[in-house]
């Protein structure tokens, strides 16, 4: 967050007015996080090659850390982490950051229709993952 804020303050990320300020800033945060993750991966790759002569694998994005510590939150986070990355990103922006689907499409720089598809598919998958197991009725 600090790096994203510094980009704004230093002018390396500038607001062009094509979206809301909030949507634009989430885009700055997202791009900054990706840049830092990539930098860490490259550093690990170079060090890994140097130390073991084998490249380090690119890490999967971490699931969003919003758990309050309750079992239900941990269960939800486990389910979210099993979603495809794009579905996870869309659900996070809409459900946790209170963005509209249109704002999420601007942050992710993908079409509104694509965001809607990922949102609906992600919700459906979460419902299936979080649904209680059906009871097996004997004799039926």
* pLDDT, tens digit (0-9, with 9 covering 90-100), for 32-83: 888 887 777 766 665 555 555 555 565 555 554 433 445 666 777 788 889 9
pLDDT score for 86: 92
Q: Determine the Cα–Cα distance for residues 140 and 106; give it in Å rounded to an integer.
A: 51
For residue 93, give the nearest of 83, 78, 108 by alpha carbon.
108
Residue 28 · residue 1 · CB < 8 Å: no
| Angstrom distance (rounded) from CA 55 to CA 53 | 7
The pTM of the full predicted model, rounded to 2 decimals, is 0.50
Of how many residues is the chain composed? 140
Domain locations in the chain?
A: 1-59, 64-131
Write out the CATH class of domain 64-131: mainly alpha
């Amino acid at each position: 967050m600090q790096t994203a804020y510094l980009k704004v303050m230093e002018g390396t990320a500038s607001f062009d007015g094509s979206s809301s300020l909030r949507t634009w800033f989430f885009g700055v945060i997202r791009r900054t996080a990706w840049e830092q993750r990539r930098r860490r991966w490259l550093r690990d790759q170079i060090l890994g090659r140097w130390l073991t002569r084998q490249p380090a694998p690119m890490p999967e994005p971490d699931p969003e850390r919003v758990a309050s510590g309750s079992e239900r939150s941990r269960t939800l986070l486990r389910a979210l982490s099993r979603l495809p990355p794009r579905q996870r990103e869309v659900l996070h922006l809409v459900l946790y950051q209170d963005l509209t689907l249109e704002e999420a499409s601007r942050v992710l720089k993908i079409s509104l229709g694509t965001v809607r598809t990922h949102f609906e598919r992600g919700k459906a998958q979460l419902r299936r993952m979080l649904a209680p197991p059906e009871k097996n009725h004997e004799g039926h």
